[in-house]
């Protein structure tokens, strides 16, 4: 789609700070005074959402490429491709999908565009190695300044980064909460900025507050304390920027990759399927014709894409109270392969690597009105009461977005925006071409004098009936793009007009 390009500037620079898992409603003057100060200086994206599934590796690829998983092909944190299990936290595992030169992601990354035009990006991050590698894909391979703070030597060949990293003491391994670790990201950045000119784009990725949310939930005093420490570290960036931006037209973006819901109840999809007689394994073999990768979003691959087996599995799981909403391959006329699901394309997740059947686990509140509305069903190792993400609730999809600098207008933006819109907006600002694989849009209304007309926002929600219950994916369409907003469930007992399935063409 042709994008109208606001005037970029060849001498402008961007500094993007990602706060892993930070949900924007957690900001307040007491805990996060520095992020609140930035909100007042800049433009707050008030209707800003993640991509699906709302998992870190998927989001890293989405932020790097400006595309959803239908474009970049990192379809989950952990998935199954070419007959093997891929754990996206490991960069070597991801490289098994393609090579350092390409094929791991199937859309073009910011780092690749910069490298192609003789420019670099500075990437400093403390997230998993796989997520870090995706987030600055194209940069670390071409010798750009790339500092993965857990091990500076492993993938970076940049001499400046090696020198800076050598000046720091070792970090505690597996630190939780990751306080010294995120401080290292800021220390690394400030050390670089003190001795070198910043490249056109800098991406800093802090693995908190995500780690502490997974340990304590969002509102626990320990989680608040970590967020406060994260904000204090960000304050060092803000102080630096206040001086430097006047010299260099540096635009500062504070962002997150996904939000968090709260684990309300555990279930095990594998146990459920085995109990029902299905042959589930880690790979296809004589004893296994189903492979399951479960978290908040559950992905299932069946041997030879057997449609009969898929329908049996769907019938088995979709009657359970923990089942949320299912997705299967898009066939002719945008129909889903499995009756009672929506097509993968409904959530921008149609890719050759997509699972044969994907479903999100439901919300606890949809079956019990008395529980915390943020609580959800979950299949995995984290305990009840802590934060989790990956699904389609508004809590998981809601993300932070603050754009500050002289290129952006200040205020609050209510139009729908998403993490895939950051890459094309940054490329436009740098006056660089936008690859055809980009699915997001340039946020023109963040740059011009006026907010875009809010009445152009169209409700593009999709509902599907299954086993007497309705599930809805709430979506908004704006300027030709779809934005995922949440889910809604209604059981048959409370619904008068069952029978109408609105799987409208997408």
Pair 449, 427: CB distance under 8 Å: no
Stretch that binds Zn ion, among 252-260, 286-294, 462-470, 491-499 (CB under 5 A): 252-260
CB of 50 to Zn ion, least distance (A): 9
* Comparison of 208 and 374: residue with beta carbon closer to Zn ion: 208
CB-count burial class (<10 Å; 0-12, 13-18, 19+) for 101: exposed
Give the Cα separation of 11 and 9 in Å (integer): 5
**Residue partners of 93: CB distance under 8 A and separation at least 6:** 86, 87, 130
Give the Cα separation of 94 and 163 in Å (integer): 28
CB of 47 to Zn ion, least distance (A): 20
CB of 247 to Zn ion, least distance (A): 33
Q: Tell me if 396 contacts Zn ion by CB under 5 A.
A: no
Q: What is the DSSP letter of 154?
A: H
Stretch that binds Zn ion, among 15-23, 94-102, 243-251, 465-473 (CB under 5 A): 15-23
Which residue among 112, 200, 208, 257 contacts Zn ion (CB under 5 A)? 257
The pair of three-digit structure tokens given for residue 277, joined into one six-digit string: 């007689």
Of residues 20-49, those binding Zn ion (CB under 5 A): 20-21
Pair 179, 226: CB distance under 8 Å: yes
Taking the CB of residue 102, how many other CB atoms lie within 10 A of it? 14
Q: Which of 309, 356, 292 is nearest to 330 (CA)?
A: 356
* Comparison of 191 and 419: residue with beta carbon closer to Zn ion: 419
Give the Cα separation of 38 and 252 in Å (integer): 9
* Comparison of 56 and 341: residue with beta carbon closer to Zn ion: 56
CB of 391 to Zn ion, least distance (A): 13
CB of 490 to Zn ion, least distance (A): 30
Write down the H helix ranges in 173-268: 179-195, 210-216, 221-248
Query: Where are the extended beta strands (E) located within 410-461?
Result: 411-413, 417-418, 458-459
**Residue partners of 248: CB distance under 8 A and separation at least 6:** 11, 13, 198
Pair 391, 360: CB distance under 8 Å: yes
Give the Cα separation of 433 and 428 in Å (integer): 7
CB of 341 to Zn ion, least distance (A): 26
Classify strands 481-490 and 43-45 as parallel, antiparallel or unpaired: unpaired
Give the Cα separation of 323 and 377 in Å (integer): 8
Stretch that binds Zn ion, among 10-18, 56-64, 194-202, 295-303 (CB under 5 A): 56-64
* Comparison of 259 and 405: residue with beta carbon closer to Zn ion: 259
Stretch that binds Zn ion, among 19-27, 39-47, 216-224, 458-466 (CB under 5 A): 19-27
Of residues 352-391, those binding Zn ion (CB under 5 A): none
Q: What is the distance, to the nearest Å, from the Cα of residue 404 to the centroid of all Cα atoms in its chain?
A: 21
CB of 127 to Zn ion, least distance (A): 7
Q: What is the DSSP letter of 139?
A: T
Stretch that binds Zn ion, among 213-221, 226-234, 255-263, 453-461 (CB under 5 A): 255-263
CB of 210 to Zn ion, least distance (A): 5
* Comparison of 60 and 366: residue with beta carbon closer to Zn ion: 60
The pair of three-digit structure tokens given for residue 332, joined into one six-digit string: 């002719």
Interface with Zn ion: number of residues (CB under 5 A): 5
CB of 220 to Zn ion, least distance (A): 18
Stretch that binds Zn ion, among 14-22, 215-223, 299-307, 326-334 (CB under 5 A): 14-22
Q: Which of 32, 48, 471, 461 is nearest to 233 (CA)?
A: 32
* Comparison of 207 and 363: residue with beta carbon closer to Zn ion: 207
Which residue among 32, 47, 56, 67 contacts Zn ion (CB under 5 A)? 56
* Comparison of 254 and 273: residue with beta carbon closer to Zn ion: 254
CB of 136 to Zn ion, least distance (A): 16
CB of 64 to Zn ion, least distance (A): 13
User: Nearest residue to Zn ion, using CB?
Assistant: 56
Of residues 198-217, those binding Zn ion (CB under 5 A): 210
Q: Point out which residues bind Zn ion (CB under 5 A).
A: 20-21, 56, 210, 257
């Amino acid at each position: 789609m042709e994008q109208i390009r606001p005037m970029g500037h060849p001498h402008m620079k961007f500094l993007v700070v990602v706060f892993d898992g930070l949900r924007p409603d957690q900001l307040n003057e007491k805990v996060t005074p520095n992020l609140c100060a930035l909100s007042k200086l800049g433009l707050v994206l008030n209707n800003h959402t993640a991509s699906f599934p709302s998992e870190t590796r998927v989001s890293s690829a989405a932020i790097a490429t400006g595309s959803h998983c239908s474009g970049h092909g990192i379809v989950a944190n952990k998935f199954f491709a070419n007959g093997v299990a891929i754990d996206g936290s490991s960069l070597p595992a991801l490289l098994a999908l393609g090579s350092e030169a390409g094929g791991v992601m199937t859309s073009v990354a910011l780092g690749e565009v910069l490298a192609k035009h003789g420019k670099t990006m500075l990437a400093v991050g403390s997230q998993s190695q796989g997520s870090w590698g995706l987030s600055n894909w194209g940069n670390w391979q071409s010798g750009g300044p790339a500092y993965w703070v857990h091990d500076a030597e492993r993938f970076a060949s940049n001499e400046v980064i090696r020198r800076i990293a050598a000046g720091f003491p070792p970090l505690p391994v597996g630190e939780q909460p990751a306080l010294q670790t995120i401080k290292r990201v800021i220390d690394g950045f400030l050390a670089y900025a003190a001795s070198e000119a910043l490249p056109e784009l800098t991406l800093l990725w802090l693995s908190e507050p995500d780690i502490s949310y997974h340990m304590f939930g969002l509102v626990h005093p320990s989680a608040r304390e970590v967020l406060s420490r994260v904000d204090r570290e960000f304050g060092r960036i803000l102080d630096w920027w206040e001086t430097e931006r006047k010299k260099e037209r540096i635009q500062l973006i504070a962002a997150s990759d996904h939000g968090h819901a709260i684990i309300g109840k555990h279930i095990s999809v594998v146990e459920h399927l085995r109990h029902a007689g299905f042959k589930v394994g880690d790979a296809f073999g004589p004893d296994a014709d189903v492979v399951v990768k479960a978290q908040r979003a559950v992905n299932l691959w069946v041997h030879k894409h057997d449609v009969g087996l898929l329908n049996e599995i769907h019938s088995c799981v979709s009657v359970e109270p923990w089942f949320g909403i299912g997705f299967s391959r898009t066939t002719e006329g945008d129909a889903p392969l499995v009756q009672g699901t929506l097509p993968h394309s409904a959530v921008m997740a149609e890719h050759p690597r997509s699972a044969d059947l994907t479903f999100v686990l439901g919300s606890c509140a949809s079956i019990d009105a008395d529980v915390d509305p943020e609580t959800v069903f979950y299949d995995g190792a984290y305990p009840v009461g802590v934060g989790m993400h990956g699904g389609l609730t508004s809590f998981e999809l809601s993300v932070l977005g603050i754009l500050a600098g002289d290129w952006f207008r200040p205020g609050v933006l209510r139009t729908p925006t998403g993490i895939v819109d950051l890459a094309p907006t940054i490329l436009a600002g740098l006056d660089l071409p936008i690859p055809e694989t980009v699915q997001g849009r340039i946020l023109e209304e963040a740059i011009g004098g006026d907010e875009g007309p809010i009445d152009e926002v169209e409700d593009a929600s999709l509902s599907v009936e299954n086993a007497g219950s309705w599930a809805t994916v709430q979506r908004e369409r704006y300027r030709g793009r779809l934005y995922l907003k949440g889910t809604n469930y209604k059981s048959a007992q409370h619904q008068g007009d069952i029978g109408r399935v609105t799987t409208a063409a997408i």
